[in-house]
Amino acid sequence: MEAATQPQQLTSIFNQGDTLEVITFYVGPTQYATPVSEVRYIEQDKRKTTRIEVNEKVGAEVTSYQGKPVPIYDLANLMGCQAEYTANIALLKILKDQEKEHQDWLSALEASLRSGDSFNHPRDPNLCEFGKWYSGFEAEDELLADILDDFDTPHKRLHALADELITLRDEGHVKKAIAALEMERGKTFGKLVNLFGAARDRLENITRPILLYIDTGHKMIAVRLNAISDIVTYNIADFTTQADVDDNEQLNSLSFFCGYLENKEDTPPCVLLDWRMFTGSNA
């Protein structure tokens, strides 16, 4: 159903006067806003939900508000994007798995030194699973990016141990090779363990999605956001309806897409959402 056919759109979203107070937030690089007047409650998403899974793409998630079930809608999913917190959860698993992989790598190297068997694990730091991921990943969070940059030196040093210590072993210096391995386990691998921990801590700190409990006028809903940016007051002169800007069928199908709020200081316009027009999907 097109937004233009929604009866409530005829009622100005500025119906309380010439100003509008909104809560702003981001999905990817785009800034969105929801009128404060439509929000009844805000809380951190504590994952106290019930979810029915139909398949990977279809499901229904419900939480409680004032003792009654309330449906949860993930704003990023409504917009056809991956939520930042979902990507962060996947990244947490990668970091945990890769710390374990390098612990196993060291154990395999030690076993090879002691037994004389061949060592078949990656010696090139760019060819292990972590190295492949690391070379192509760019963190948007500045602090996380700084932590990841610090991985480079100890990770390369760890993989360089294979050639050095196996050479020592093959020259008959098994005890010397094992002693060197133990020293590097505490020094080099210890640095990696600390970095893996610091990266996970940072991810956990920025992975705190928020639930906005919104009264649409016909039912209560909860909208999941990555985070809230600010509370801002706009003037009616800052507002332009979606119909006056876009002639796009897909945008028109977003029932709750109201229009644009003009920002100052060369900042792109903010997309205004009016949940009174929400139909329960983006189609």
Instruction: Kindly state the DSSP code that residue 255 receives in the 8-state scheme.
Output: T
Question: Of 176 and 54, which is predicted with more confidence?
Answer: 176
94 within 8 A of 151, measured Cβ to Cβ:
no
164 within 8 A of 148, measured Cβ to Cβ:
no
178 within 8 A of 168, measured Cβ to Cβ:
no
Instruction: Kindly state the DSSP code that residue 23 receives in the 8-state scheme.
Output: E
pTM, entire model: 0.68
114 within 8 A of 166, measured Cβ to Cβ:
no
In the chain, the amino acid numbered 82 is: Q
The pLDDT tens digits of the residues spanning 255-275 come to: 788 889 999 878 899 999 999
Domains in the chain, CATH or no CATH each? 3-81+210-277 (no CATH), 84-206 (1.20.120.30)
Long-range CB contacts (< 8 A, 24+ apart) of 138-145?
141/202, 141/206, 143/202, 144/199, 144/202, 144/203, 144/206
211 within 8 A of 42, measured Cβ to Cβ:
yes
The pLDDT tens digits of the residues spanning 169-220 come to: 999 999 999 999 999 999 999 999 999 999 999 998 888 889 999 999 889 9
Between β-strands 257-261 and 239-241, what pairing exists: parallel, antiparallel or unpaired? antiparallel
